[in-house]
Copies of this chain bind each other. A is one copy, B any other.
Amino acid sequence: MKKILREHIEKLIPLTDDEFSFVLSHFSAEQYDKNDFIFRKGEKVKNCYFIISGLLKLVYDDKDGKQHIVSFALEDWWESDFSAYFSEANTKMSLQSIEDSITFSLSLKNYHKLSAEFPKMQRFFLNKSNTGHIASQHRILSFLTSNARERYDQLIKQYPLLVQRVPKTLLASYLGVSRETLSRLSH
C-alpha cells in the first residue's frame, strides 16, 4: 500500500526514503466496504483521498432526487469535493464507494503543511491539479461536441476497464443521458 503511494508520487517526483517517510506521515489509511459513504452531501470534508484500490463515485443529488455522477475515482486517482475541501465549507456532493476500497486520506491542514514544508510535494500537487483541470476540460468538450452515442464511445475508448466494472445505470448518470437511452445505443 505504501509502495503504491510512493510509486504514484515518484512517477512525477523522485523521493529519498526519508522524504517519503515524511510525506507518508501526513496521510492515513482508510478502508471502505462497497456502498459505504466516504462523506455525504452537507457534511464537512476533512480530507482528500488517494485511491489505492477500489472505485468511488462523486455524486451530486439534484432537487428532484436524481443522482448525477460528477466523477469516478479509480486506483491511482485523487478525489474529494474539492470546492468544499479547500474552502472548508459544507459539501454539495457525496463520495461513495462502488467497490470495496482502500484510500490514503490527506487533511487540508496536512496538505498545506506538506506544500509549505516540502516544495517538491507542492510541485506534485500542482501537476496533479493541472492534469485534473485538463481532464475536466476534455469532458466539457465532449458535452459540447458530441451526442450521447459519441460520448459513450469516447468513454469506452478512454476508460475501457471502468466501463466493464460499472453498471450501465451509473455510466448513464456520468454521461448525462437516461439509462434507457444508453441501453438503446448498443444497436
Residue of B nearest to A66 (CB): B145
Q: Please give the count of copies of this chain that the complex contains.
A: 2
Classify the secondary structure of A's interface with B.
helix
Closest CB in chain B relative to A81 CB, distance in Å: 9
Is there a chain B Cβ closer than 8 Å to A39's Cβ?
A: no
Q: Give the contacting residue for A141; candidates B70, B119, B134; CB below 8 A.
A: B70
User: Residues of B contacting A119 with CB < 8 Å?
Assistant: 119, 122
Q: Which residues of A contact B (CB under 8 A)?
A: 60, 62, 66, 68-71, 82-83, 86, 115-116, 119, 122-123, 125-126, 129-130, 132-134, 136-141, 143-145, 173, 176
6 A-B contacts (beta carbon < 8 Å) = A82-B137, A115-B123, A119-B119, A133-B133, A136-B137, A144-B176
